Amino acid sequence: MTAARQARVRPSLRHTLVDILERFGVLILAVLLLLVIPFTFDMFRLGLAAKYLCFAFPAVGIVLIWGYAGILSLGQGMFFGLGSYMMAMFLKLEAAANPDSSSGTALAAFFGAAGLPDFMVWNSVEKLPIWWEPFHHVWIMIPAVVILPAFLAFVLGYVNFRNRVSGVYFTIVTLSIAAIMAIVIIGQQGYTGGINGITDFKTFLGLNLDTDQAKIVMYYITVLLLLLAVLAGRFIIRSRMGRVLVAIRDQEDRARFSGYDSAMFKAFIFSVGAMFASVGGALFTIQVGLASPSLVGIVPSIEMVIYAAVGGRVSLIGAVYGAFLVNAAKTFFSENFVEYWTYFIGALYVFVVMFLPAGLAGILKKLRGSDSRRAGSKTESN
Amino acid sequence: MSEILSVTDLTISFDGFKAIDNLSFSVDRDELRVVIGPNGAGKTTLLDMICGKSKPTHGSIRFKDLELSNMVEYQITRAGVGRKFQTPSIYQDLTVFENLEISSPEHRGLFGSLFFKHDRKTIERIESVAEAVSLQGELHSPAGTMSHGQKQWLEIGLLLMQDPDLMLLDEPVAGMSARERALTAELLKGIAKGRSLVVIEHDMVFVKMIAKKISVLHQGRLLAEGSMDQVQNDERVIEVYLGS
């Protein structure tokens, strides 16, 4: 390692520290998330941390698809939303099957619509739509969360990339689809819960989600899946595929003439990013108790890109810190100055682009000083 | 000698302008062919169509037993056609080693690339190719920081890694010093053993160094074909090109 060699030449404390941070990035993150946060945060803050970490999933995916493959998607909210809504449908059906679970379902049962989600009853929907039916089963819902958005992303990506729709044009396609999805969800109130989203569920497979125990278990599941996503991303980046993706990002024509089906590679990494976003969405819904169109459209999708930009667009671990810090700032700001939040996040983005193009990960690099590593590109940094 | 590439009645039209107009052209196995012609003669467009970058309006491009006009770039590359562009087209952010490694022809599929580990044999090949293009001392430098001539060589090295049966080189000595040109001429002669080359070049000194057979294009058509002497003494060629 160049870093190690340099540390030996100039063994200053600063360099040693940065070196440790870089080499053991995943381990440090794991210790922070698995030990430090659960033992120092109270239940309320642990819940917030869990929520922030759900947003780290799409951010890690964005590092792969934007940082490494150069595909800027402003529509990751749609995949986050797909995971979120699929989980919500399952939880809602479980709540509806149990009239004692909430006042809404009890009232629905009173009106002779037992088993139907309460918002459908209010909207005079008399029969469960056929596409809700599979979500009675957890063994359909969980694979669907993992596979369905990935599959849709693959098809969307391949069709576009194959026809040489890329760069800003592909960005516009993703942006439009995210907007359309939010509009459809809001418009189809009887089937999707509309602007209110889907909410008011208490149990998952009969387990009460409101207990401290359930919350702690869900927090740990979230952290473990997030670390798994980071490690999977790292495996991809360090494989030959990682170099092929950078090659496609920097010189797509040459990659084609080196014999690579670049559309296939881009569609693949796009679908991996979609899968991460969807898992994050599902975990969000089970912990926050809500699936909402406000997490699907353009604004949340752009926020997800900002998490990755703040962390450093080629740093998987940076994306986790980026998502966590930006969301913590959002909580702080919206508690204190609600109306300025959107200005703040806009200013933050401009600041990062102008002064910290490599994000938080870039600060580490600067601290260590310039060395022979290639600037801001393929090199994976923590 | 048998033909490796045979182009028949090839036409490409951009909004009615025929950059290549009913061209027929063929290259033999193990041949080194130089294509010359004034600006706008359609030289680069011809290579673009062979390697799949542009699709012909009509006509056929046969390479071995394959019809290239129906195939896309990566399929044509895998079939054994390598293309070097006019401005060096390399991966600036990767090192010379990584550039060459990515061009090695194994495991170009999705899952192959995910689980690929390069073995001793690949590394040896990378080292020998680096030596062939005089970059053995630069293996771990980022490609983007090298000189223009070195980038040109690196791109030739990328093609060598692919070990193509037909190499298409678009102005390989553009921007090189006289010494680099002479080295490149030797390099190309070495490369030409056991494969076919099509080289576009403007520099007549360089053309004299490498050419056996020359094709002259003019306004999308084949104007003349033959040895250096034949071409230089052809009146039509003198009129449109050398005489100017």
pLDDT digits (tens, 9 = 90+) for B191-210: 888 899 999 988 888 888 88
What is the model's pTM?
Answer: 0.89
Q: Looking at CA atoms only, how far is residue B237 from chain A in angstroms? A: 33
String of DSSP letters for A35-94: IIHHHHS-HHHHHHHHHHHHHHHHHHHHIIIIIIT----S-HHHHHHHHHHHHHHHHHHH
- Which pLDDT score is estimated for A108? 66
Interface predicted TM-score (ipTM) of this complex, two decimals = 0.89
> pLDDT tens, B171-193?
988 888 888 899 999 999 888 88
Q: What is the pLDDT of residue A235?
A: 94
Q: Which residues of A touch B98 (CB under 8 A)?
A: 243, 378
**pLDDT of res. A371:** 45
Looking at the predicted structure, is the pLDDT value of residue A76 above 60? yes
Amino acid (one-letter) located at A358: A
Report the chain A residue with the minimal C-alpha distance to residue B162: A258
Three-point CA angle B103, B107, B109, nearest 5°: 105
Q: What is the pLDDT of residues B128-170, one digit of tens each?
A: 999 989 898 889 999 989 988 899 999 999 999 999 999 999 9
Residue of B nearest to A251 (CA): B91
Residue A209 confidence (pLDDT): 87
Other Cβ atoms less than 10 A from the Cβ of A347: the count is: 11
Q: Report d(CA A179, CA A186) in Å as an integer.
A: 11
HSE-up (13 A, CA, CB side) for residue A283: 31
CA quadruple A379, B94, B54, A263: dihedral positive or negative? negative
CB neighbours of residue B215 within 10 Å: 22
pLDDT > 90? residue A338: no
Contact list, A235 vs chain B (CB under 8 Å): 114
Split at pLDDT 50, 70, 90, the class of A214 is very high
* Rounded distance between C-alpha atoms, residue A271 and residue A150, angstroms: 4
Q: Which whole number is the average pLDDT over A359-367?
A: 82
Q: Give the one of A239, A246, A257 whose C-beta lies nearest to B51's C-beta.
A: A257
Which of B74, B85, B142 lies at the smallest CB-CB distance from A261? B74
Q: Which residue is closest to B99 within chain A, CA to CA?
A: A247
- Quick check: B73 and A256 CB within 8 A? yes
Q: Could you count the other beta carbons within 10 Å of the beta carbon of residue B213? A: 16
CA separation for the pair B32, B213 (Å, rounded):
7
Contacts of residue A304, defined as CB under 8 A and 6 or more positions apart, other chains included, come to A55, A58, A59, A62, A76, A77, A80, A277, A323
Distance of residue A141 Cα from the nearest chain B Cα, in angstroms: 27
What is the spatial distance between Cα B6 and Cα B62, in angstroms, rounded to a whole number? 5
**In the structure encoding, which two tokens stand for residue A333, read together?**
């700001």
Distance from CA of B225 to the nearest CA of A (A): 29
Given this model, what pLDDT does residue B234 score? 85
Pair B150, B170: CB distance under 8 Å: no
Q: Do the Cβ atoms of A246 and B91 come closer than 8 Å?
A: yes
Residue A381 has pLDDT above 50, yes or no: no
Sequence-separated (6 or more) residues with CB below 8 Å from residue A10: none
Closest among B162, B164, B173 to B88, alpha carbons compared = B173
Per residue in A51-63, pLDDT (tens digit) is: 999 999 999 999 9
Most confident of A97-106, A107-116, B227-236: B227-236
Flag whether residue A214 sits within 8 Å of chain B, measured between CB atoms: no
